[in-house]
Amino acid sequence: MNLRTLLEPLYFRILRSSISKTPNHIAIIQDGNRRYAKEMGQKTGFGHRQGANTTEMMLEWAREFGIKHITLYAFSTENFRRNEEELGELFELFKDRFLKVLTDERVHKNKIRVRMVGDKSLLPADVLACVEKAEEATKEYSNHYLNVAIAYGGRNEIVHAARRIITQVRDGTLSPDRITPAMVEANLYGGLGLPPVDLIIRTGNEYRTSNFLPWLANGNESSVYFCAPYWPQFRKIDLLRAIRVYDQRKRSGSKPSCP
């Protein structure tokens, strides 16, 4: 056991005690699954499965810290371009984890509502069926919200919202001069009513937000935390460091430098 391992619990306690403000809504870009698998000498599917396990742990940490809304960037519209083998592995993983919601005691004990954010028309029918079962099983819950962005693209989402509004104008049910930012927001994300994003986290040493929730994140000037670990390596202390970035910004009124 090295010195860092010995000191980390103390550092964690000091770090946590220094935080007074916790974000309501965190959006996470879970990057690095494939690179992690490659470095471990494993196939891509191994990285995705390990990443899914990290997601489950992270949800427990977030609940412990009092975070009400979590939105995960699991699969973008561009990801459909990946090879058939990887797509098959990902779709099987999605089905497994959405069906797990039905029997996961933590979901029902903590009343976590699970929802998909994205273009459902792009999903294979068997994957969509599993998604809808999870949504139906948790639709009455409101203590916590887990939003999983699948077949999602920020620009695509805004285009869909524009089409909905244009349809209302053409039908005569909406006057153009009544279009407001609030109305646009109401037509985003399938009408789920997601709150503004307070903090974006991206793992894997990538320094971009990849068109993720542009209206709710960029429009809200959310805090951003980039970190080096691949998503399967993400730890509780990494989440706490991200929350510290948000806390520092809220208290100072300006964006702090990354730790």
Catalytic residue among 31, 198, 238, 247: 31
| 133-139, long-range: CB < 8 A, 24+ apart | 133/98, 133/99, 133/101, 133/102, 134/98, 134/99, 134/101, 134/102, 137/101, 137/102, 138/101, 138/107, 138/108, 138/111, 138/112, 138/113, 138/114, 139/113
Helices (H), 65-153: 84-100, 105-109, 125-138
CA angle 136, 33, 31 (to 5 degrees): 80
Q: How far is CA 59 from the centre of its chain?
A: 10
* Marked catalytic residue, from 79, 110, 156, 220: 79
Strands 199-202 and 144-152, by their bridges, are unpaired
For residue 215, which of 25, 23, 66 has the smallest C-alpha distance? 25
Could you confirm whether 79 is annotated as catalytic?
yes
For 85, the token pair is 């083998």
Query: 223 near 255, Cβ under 8 Å?
Result: yes
What letter would DSSP give residue 146?
E
Strand pairing of 199-202 and 223-226?
A: parallel
Q: Are 204 and 195 in contact (CB under 8 A)?
A: no
- The verdict on whether 31 is a catalytic residue reads yes
Q: Mind telling me the catalytic residues?
A: 31, 79
